[in-house]
Each structure stands twice: as C-alpha cells, then as structure tokens.
Amino acid sequence: MDNFRKEFPIFKKQKQLIYLDSAATSLKPKTMIQAINDYNQKYSINSHSESSSPLFKKVWTTIQETREIIAQKIKGKAEETSFLPSTTHALNFLALSLKNHLQKGDRICLTYLEHSSNLHPWQAIAKEKKVIVDFLPLNKEFTIDIDKLDKYIDKKTKIVSFVHVSNSLGVINPAAEITKKIKEINPECLVILDACQSIIHVPINVTEWNIDALALSGHKVYGPTGIGVLWIKKELGEKLPHLLWGGGKKIGPTEEITNQNLPLSQKMEVGTLPLAEIFGLKAAFEFLNNFATKEIYKYENDLRNYTLQKLKKIKNITIYNQNLVSANIITFNLASYHAHDIVDYLGKNNILIRAGNFCCPYLDKLISANSALRVSFGIYNNYNDIDKLVSHLQKIIQNPRILLPF
C-alpha cells in the first residue's frame, strides 16, 4: 500500500508532513480532487434544471451512480440512500424524525463509546419526550456485552443507536450479533448504526444484519467535507414525517402527501444538492474499492502493532487500548504531560495526531481520563511515520522544556 502514498497530492505540497489523524478526517486522493474539479469546470449546472442536455444527464447520472456505489458498499439499496451535509446532520435529522415514534416512559439505549453526534440528539429528544436513556453495558473488550442485553432491552425499548467502530478506542462492536439479540428480545426496536469509522475498516451488510438506519461521513472515506450519507430501510423511511420543505421537493405541505412514486430521498434532500461533493464522494468510493476491506484492515493493523511495540518502550506511557482489538487507533497518555501540550509540540514538527476527548463526552468513563492522545492510521501511512513520531515523543521525555511555548 505504500505505493498509494503518491496518490495523495498533499504529500507533494507538504513534504515533511506526518499525518496520523485519519479518524478525524482522511486525506484526499487526486482522483477525488479531480472529480470535484471536473464538476466545477465541466458540468457545473443544477440537478433541478432538468433537460436533455448532456450536462444535465451527466450530473443526474452521477448522483444515481453515487447512491448505487455506496449502497453496494453497505449491502443496501440505492433508493434508501440520501445525501445530507454530514453524519452529525444525518443523526440529528433521524432523531427528530423519530420523535413521534416515542412516548413518555419509552427507552432509548446508547453506549459510553458514542461520539457526541450519536449521543446528544437522542438525549435531546428524550428530554423533550420524557423518555429514559440507558447506556448498554460494555465487556472487558470495551464492546457491547451481548450476554447482558436481555437485562437492558425490553418492550419499552424503542431505539438502540450505537457506534460500529469507536473513534476513541477503535474497538469494533459486533453489529450483526448485537442486532440479532436486540431483535430477538424486541422485534419492533429500531437499530441505528454510526458507521463513520467502520465504513473503511470493517465489512457492512445492513440487509443481512437487519439494521434499520445507518449514517456515514464523506470526509472519513477519502472523500470531501460537507457531505454525509443517511441510509434508511425503506419500510422505516416511508413512515417518517416530512420535516424539510422547498428547493426542488416535488410536493408542498398543503398538498395531500402519499409515498407512492415519491423517492425516499425527497424527505431528506431539499435545496440544491452538494453536487461537487457528490462527484467527489463517488470518486472516493471508487478509490476505496481498489482495496478489499480486509486488506486495508490488515495493513493498518500491522502499522498499529509496530507502533504499539515502539510506544511501549517509552517511559511512563499509558496505552489504553493496547490489549483491545482495535481498527486503526491507539489511545495513550504520557504521565505528567498534558495531551494538548504534546500535540502542540508535535504540530510544530509537522506531526499531526489528536488530543482531547475526541468528541466522546464519556471518555473519562472508559479510560478514567478526560483527555488523551490518539494516533489513527490511513493507507498513506508507513513505518517511517511511526519512527518519527516515537523519536519526538522520546525527545519530550528527555527534555520536557521543549514543550514550553517560549
């Protein structure tokens, strides 16, 4: 995979860059960048401007092809796939759409692994509807404890929403087994999957797993910012209310609404679509499809194991997930040094990792620390990146004064 580093133009512009923050956002391959440029330079028309023009046909076809390539990736249907500005937007939209699905005393189940985007929207509607929010138990592997689900899921549990791959520890929830158990206990319970981190690293089959909805982000799959995807099982999507109006939507709020012949995306997509981003997202998934998911996982896991061996030699380091099965993430702290001070120093030396709670509000419940350091890998990383990171961490241990801002 090292040969693919050349596919990322940023390394030609930033020759000294060591980028180890792919869980936050992935870098962009030149084919994706070119696809966005192609839309802007060659086709730049509105998808609502319907005609027999070759320009319109190209734009319209690309929208449908992008739905299809994403649907194939998650084993869903293109007609169930909609474009929204981000995963955060998608999960907020979904929570608001399901508000009337809930009554006082019902239950929503989440986990302490959740990103705030899959936490706060559900807490907000729970507060409004006087619904109980429970947190599913985690086992020693920090994944959902399937054996204890029957103590948490009951007939009052209407929604379970959980992260597939954690952005804080990288642990992988066995979504198929979890969903199977939930549906055995309560077949009417909706299961929602945050696939932001998993879409690259873990195979997904929403149909086989009986998932009801899934959200993912463009900029975490080597695609553009400003676009997310919401997949909703057709049976559920048809029951959702119309919350958004105008801008190309074929009906208005004063008209009689029927779902016959009305695309499901009409409930989610209003206004002009982010067309350049859709062109880019299609190219990103085409780029991603050059690799088997297992191939990406193995390569990044080899990098992770190499990094762990190097990091464990550093004095007074705490690695929170070294003994956990993790997709592409290492989370750690250096005793006596604040994570943000370390990230600041590394940044000055062109090494980019992440510090903080990674938008995981309950991180302290997982690792007993409010802030940590996170290294996350992409297919463009190599062993040289790791050696340089570890070298600079050793310099901090040897001479802590280098962290001073003056």
Q: Which domains does the chain have, with CATH numbers?
A: 2-20+292-403 (3.90.1150.10), 32-288 (3.40.640.10)
Tokens of 265: 């995306």
Looking at residue 253, its pLDDT comes to 81
Of the candidates 159, 182, 157, the one whose C-alpha atom is nearest the C-alpha of residue 106 is: 157
Q: Are 328 and 170 in contact (CB under 8 A)?
A: yes
Of the candidates 126, 216, 210, the one whose C-alpha atom is nearest the C-alpha of residue 164 is: 216
Looking at residue 261, its pLDDT comes to 63
CA 290/CA 269 separation, integer angstroms? 29
Residues of the chain with pLDDT under 70: 1-2, 257-261, 406
CA 268/CA 270 separation, integer angstroms? 7
Looking at residue 257, its pLDDT comes to 67
Q: Are 389 and 375 in contact (CB under 8 A)?
A: yes
Q: What is the pTM of this model?
A: 0.95
CA 295/CA 317 separation, integer angstroms? 30
In the 8-state DSSP scheme, what is residue 404? Answer: S
For 28, phi then psi, to 5°, come to -110, 125
Chain CA centroid to CA 323, Å? 23
Tell me if residue 359 is catalytic: yes
CA 253/CA 241 separation, integer angstroms? 11
In angstroms and rounded to an integer, the radius of gyration of the C-alpha atoms of the chain is: 22
Given 109, 189, 196, 359, which residue is catalytic?
Answer: 359
